[in-house]
A and B are shown apart, each in its own frame.
Chain A
Amino acid sequence: MSSPLRSRRAEWLVTAPSFLWLALFFAVPAVIVLAFTFHGHDISGGVGEWSLSTWRELVDPDYPAIIWNTIKISVEVTIWSIVLAVPCAYAIARMNPRWRAIVAGSIMLPFWTSFVVRVFAWKTMLHPDGWLQACCNLFSIGGGHSTILDSEAAVVLVSVYSFLPFAIMPLYTAAEKFDFSLLEAARDLGAKNFYAFRKIFLPGIRQGLVSAVLMVFIPAIGSYVIPQMLGGTNCVLIGNKIFMRAIQNRNIPHASALATVMAVSVLIPIGLAMWWKRRQDARDRQRLEAQTAKLFTAEGGAAK
């Protein structure tokens, strides 16, 4: 192409702003973080000499427990979210288009209130003086004296609350494209409702399932505000530990190492999802090619 905007120089010119900005403020900092993990801790709050001490210390104290706990809670949150989101997506997709738009919109509406404020509302509700606790006490749920606030349960509950819309949306988008007459066909062939749902609907929306899982799991792993405000000292996750080490103890190498661990635990499921998608695509392509090949040979045969 000889049109003016297609030259090499123009490409650099148009790419430069975002490229340089993100290189400077995203890629370089990531490298710095990684580099810091190979330094020792300096009492003054800075970074010490090159050493592997940070990684060694990471194994030793309570870190593995926290990492494990974070992953466990993230998995719990993801499962709860998906279990709730799938029927919701199914129900929305089966509505008539007018209602669909309204309900899908009202799933997103809570986002127009500040996230922190919503979490604070939960905090007010779950507080020992709050009405939810009062209800629990009234019916002596939870033994009457233990509080919901400052517990793992509160963190899971509010995390599900916060991330659930992120799970519903991709599932709904997938379910909307699903051909529901397949379910009827399955029932027609004698499948039980739930069996048809499990064997036909779920595989039909698997792309949506994968993105829903990621959309919940990633922010759950990186969760910081929710455990900070609702978990108290009973539920400390990697996010809180990173903040603690970076801001309060000024132990930069430890914060960096924890951040690296978090990045890896996010990249693994993403990598798996990508690998899975590529395999699915390859399979689909193969199937398609096989079909077309068959079609062509059939046609060739007919022509003769």
Chain B
Amino acid sequence: MKRSMVSVMILAAVLAFLYVPIILVVVYGFVPNGISMSFFGSDGSFLGFTGKWYRYIFTGHQSVRALLQSFWLSLIIAGLSTVASCAIGTTSALALHKWRGRLQSIHHALVYTPLIMPDILIGISLLMLFAACHVNCGFWTILIAHITFCVSYVAMTVLARLQDFDDRITEAAYDLGAGPWYAFFHVELPILLPGIVAGGLLAFTLSIDDVVITSFVNGAGTNTFPTYVSSMTKHSRNLPSVFALSTLMLVFTCVLVGLSKLITSKGQAKLKVKAS
């Protein structure tokens, strides 16, 4: 069919378009000259690939120290905000699922609105809050900001899973003598865990990738990986090490996602409650 040929061609072009920068990131991680970002010398000769940027990263060379520092900070913030937003987001989803009333409709609006607002607005408004309270921006303000925008994503992910949850199962736990806490930790939580993990992964990705909100609330000198990168210019000597680090992250996440796919597909086969 001609029509679908056209669309397949557009799809192929779009995929190429999406992957060009990724390929570039990988390739430029091996560029010998960090200033000209070129594989060719001034005389036009091919200089070959180099692994020195990777060496710098693994040995903690002083030229990449600030980069690595920002990267660790990103990991710490992403880790902490994932844990916190998972806890808060899960309780939020539970509340939204269990009760219907005035309180919950306000609650729902509070959880939902951050999702439809450009993130720059969350950044500026938090900055205003911290300014109004005379709080010095730094690690803690970044953490608070990240938890704030992650909570909504976790809540919505868990809520989606709760929609398939059979309330009779909780009732069965009560019926057999469990109190609310026992029922929650032994029955509900294990069933919700895949949803919470999915929400947590989303939160981690968003947190580690965030540049807009962070650049409003990071104060001077506290840089996460994205804000550090965005402050670089093209002629910074460390650019190739950024690309090298990104390549490492890409490989790492690919492996991780591959593994988790394997585990969840197995887990899901176990957990799926067949409607019989």
Contact = CB atoms under 8 A, between A and B. Distances in A.
A41 interface: no
A177 B124 CA distance: 39
Contacts of A214: 116
A30 B225 CA distance: 27
B271 interface: no
Given A18-B151, A218-B118, A114 B249 contact: yes
Contacts of B8: 91
Interface string A111-133: 11111111111111101011000
B39 to A, nearest CB: 10
B269 interface: no
A75 interface: no
B80 interface: no
A18 B92 contact: yes
A97 B5 CA distance: 18
Is chain B's interface secondary structure helix, strand, loop, or mixed overall? Answer: helix
Contacts of A247: 215-216
Contacts of B1: 193
Interface stretch (A54-62, A140-148, A223-231, A284-292): A223-231
B64 to A, nearest CB: 15
Interface in A89-117: 90-92, 94, 103, 106-107, 109-117
Contacts of A122: 21
B148 A114 contact: no
A91 B7 contact: yes
B140 interface: no
A291 to B, nearest CB: 27
Contact of B125 (A4, A5, A193, A259): A259
Interface residues of B, number: 92
Nearest to B188: A5
Contact of A87 (B7, B180, B246, B250): B7
A14 B94 contact: yes
Interface in B102-150: 103-104, 106-107, 110-111, 113-114, 116-122, 124-129, 131-132, 144-145, 147-148
Contact of A15 (B104, B114, B125, B151): B104
B119 A117 contact: no
B124 A117 contact: no
Interface string A209-233: 0000010001101111100110000
Interface of B: 1-4, 6-8, 10-11, 14-15, 17-22, 24-25, 28, 36-38, 87-89, 91-92, 94-95, 98-99, 101, 103-104, 106-107, 110-111, 113-114, 116-122, 124-129, 131-132, 144-145, 147-148, 151-152, 155, 170-171, 174, 179-180, 183-184, 205, 208-209, 211-212, 215-216, 225-226, 229-230, 232, 234, 239, 242-243, 246, 249-250, 253-254, 257
Given A11-B99, A26-B125, 17 more contacts: A5-B180, A15-B91, A18-B110, A19-B106, A29-B129, A84-B14, A110-B22, A112-B205, A113-B246, A115-B211, A120-B232, A129-B36, A218-B116, A221-B118, A223-B118, A224-B120, A262-B118
